[in-house]
Chain A
Amino acid sequence: MAPRTVAPFGPQHPVLPEPIQLKITYENEKVVDVVPALGYGHRGIEKACELNEYPKNIHLVERICGICSCIHGISYCETVERLWPLEVPPRAKYLRVIYSEMSRLHSHLLWLGLLCDALGFESMFMQFWRIREKVLDILEATSGHRVTQSISVVGGVRRDIDAEQEKTCIKVLQEVKKEAESLINVLASDPTVKARTVGKGVLTKEQAILLGINGPHLRASGVKEDSRMLGAQAYSELGFEPIVETAGDCYARALVRAREALQSIELQLEAFSKMPEGEIFERPKGRPPANEVTYRAEQPRGECFYYAKGNGTQHLERFRVRTPTFANIPSLLVMLPGCELADVPVIVLSIDPCISCTER
């Protein structure tokens, strides 16, 4: 047996902007064992949610994670609305879909950029982030902030998109679509990218189901499962079909996310064309009643599960979030052993880890 070495990967590592540590045992250049060490990002947001009054939690919940912040905010409102239950106006439902898809688009472009960075494909990283800025620009123009939009409130949304803005959004989205398509074509056909991703970090369909993987990671292993299929908000009216790949390797995961980015542009354009006129906000009556509810949302990184318990006061008794990366981290323990040490960053990145979500 060759001598074994244990090396820490993180908590400060150039590939990951976030603090997670993987203790990697390797033999020569082959990884034999991986132990994740978590806890660097824990703040205690769930507890803090009980301390604040329920409308103020939106700002806190949005800061569970800055990349999925918009969907966290929307989902918090959806969950709390289910305590009454409360029906939001139809236009607000469409606006929520548009903002969710916009943040999915920017998150997937961000991830595609980070993947290129991990592969050493620096210029492609810059290109993806360049077109991502356009999405951030329309987010800023419509909601007022680039990163944390705070667009949703309990009972509807905070701001409307007027006709003028709608035209700009559609124009920018079409531009982004054209550019993203050409970049994705290059990425998907590049021989170096393929050499680094095809057949790397394979997770079979059976393993994926057994480990309870979710999100694009699961769909890349050939399982057709997406919480948007449940048809919350206006998804039921948009003819949504999940994107599935079957290979289960890093390349398949990149393809799923790339195609989802394009699909989310389509969904936004469709939502703009079908969006009804009308109110965007309805003030909730009274306090959240004593009740227990759950809600499932599709984050860019996978399925996120929310639980809320009200007790008739302004405060929630319990608010719980189970985030997608929490479910996806165990897959690393299956995918990493046996791979080359140099492939570790790409495989870790391929699950799109979001540590601040996981640890809250």
Chain B
Amino acid sequence: MGIIQKSQVKSPWIMHFCNSSCNGCDIEVLASLTPLYDVERFGIVNMGNPKHADVLVVTGPVNYRTARVLKNLYDQIPDPKMVIAVGACASTGGVFHNCYNILGGVDKVLPVDVYVPGCAARPEAIIDGVVLALQKLSKAVGVAK
């Protein structure tokens, strides 16, 4: 396995994008970076730049305005990439399913690899989601265990 593939799986950089979420899941994504959960010990770093990211973490339902932004960000992330939909409303639309400005879950615009349930999703569940995504990623880069 090459050094690039190895570091992609060992130290995935995530980028967090908030659609029109209620913040509940966003603060849980951030909370998983802080001392109690501390995903940085697994080499997971939160990035602001899509070109540096391996994993796209999306919270919140897609609405008519963020759909384009989300697609745009996804296209900028280099391959291979993983998409994690965090929370009930990112997965299906959740409580907002009948709001007029909501398209639905993230899978309406992007191929989603892992769905994390919960409203709000617990940090443990989010970390579990990232681990699942990494297993998929290691298959994609050809270093499957």
Contact = CB atoms under 8 A, between A and B. Distances in A.
A44 B27 contact: no
Contacts, number: 119
Given A12-B73, A17-B18, A129-B34, A66 B25 contact: yes
A126 B22 contact: no
A44 B99 contact: yes
Interface residues of A, number: 40
Interface in A1-49: 11-14, 17-19, 39-45, 47-48
Contacts of B50: 12
Contact of B66 (A40, A145, A146, A354): A40
Contacts of B69: 11-12, 19, 40
Contacts of A14: 47-48
A236 to B, nearest CB: 31
B65 A39 contact: yes
B34 to A, nearest CB: 4
A17 B66 contact: no
A17 B23 contact: yes
Q: Per DSSP, are chain A's interface residues mostly helix, strand or loop, or mixed?
A: loop
A34 B116 CA distance: 37
Contact of A146 (B28, B35, B99): B28
Interface in B40-75: 47-48, 50, 61, 63, 65-66, 69, 73
B120 interface: yes
A64 interface: yes
B96 A19 contact: no
Interface of B: 16-31, 34-36, 47-48, 50, 61, 63, 65-66, 69, 73, 89, 95-96, 98-102, 119-120, 122
